[in-house]
């Protein structure tokens, strides 16, 4: 069966510090990978998605970046965090199967607080 891991679960960082959040997927090959941010009381905001190694699409201009160094690894980074980067970060994966809807499976999330 497939599983998705995110770490850390919680992170408190000072403004201006760097960020690295990691997401890994097990039990599937060549998944589509996604990074979402959810601010308190708000909906899910798509940040990045990737359809393959080294292929990253950005949906929202910001001081965040994403990388996919391996097929099942997705990393969200920042060189300098802003207060507005605080939120709940969710990684998700999906696989296109012919004739079936593409379900997104979400990880447990990382709660980031920038002070």
For other proteins, the binding residues (CB under 8 A) are 32, 42-44, 46, 49, 51, 59, 88, 90, 92, 94, 101-109, 111
Alpha carbon 81 to its chain centroid, in Å, reads: 16
Q: Which is nearer to other proteins, 16 or 27 (CB)?
A: 27
CB of 82 to other proteins, least distance (A): 23
Determine the straight-line distance between the first and last CA of the chain, rounded to whole angstroms. Answer: 38
Judged by CB, which is closer to other proteins: 15, or 60?
Answer: 60
94 Cβ neighbours under 8 A, 6+ residues apart? 31, 32, 34, 102, 103, 104, 105
User: Measured from the CB atom, is 21 or 107 closer to other proteins?
Assistant: 107
Q: HEC profile for 71-92?
A: CCEEEEEECCCCHHHCEEEEEE
Token representation of residue 103: 């379900």
Shortest CB 63 distance to other proteins, Å? 22
In the complex, least distance from residue 1 CB atom to other proteins, rounded to whole angstroms = 15
Smallest distance from other proteins to CB 23, Å? 11
């Amino acid at each position: 069966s497939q599983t998705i891991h995110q770490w850390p679960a919680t992170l408190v960082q000072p403004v201006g510090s760097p960020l690295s959040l990691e997401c890994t997927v097990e039990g599937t090959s060549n998944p589509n990978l996604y990074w979402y941010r959810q601010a308190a009381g708000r909906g899910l905001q798509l940040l990045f998605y990737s359809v393959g190694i080294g292929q990253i699409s950005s949906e929202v201009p910001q001081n965040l970046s994403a990388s996919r160094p391996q097929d099942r690894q997705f990393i969200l980074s920042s060189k300098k965090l802003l207060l507005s980067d605080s939120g709940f970060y969710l990684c998700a994966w999906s696989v296109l199967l012919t004739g079936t809807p593409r379900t997104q499976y979400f990880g447990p999330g990382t709660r980031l607080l920038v002070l």
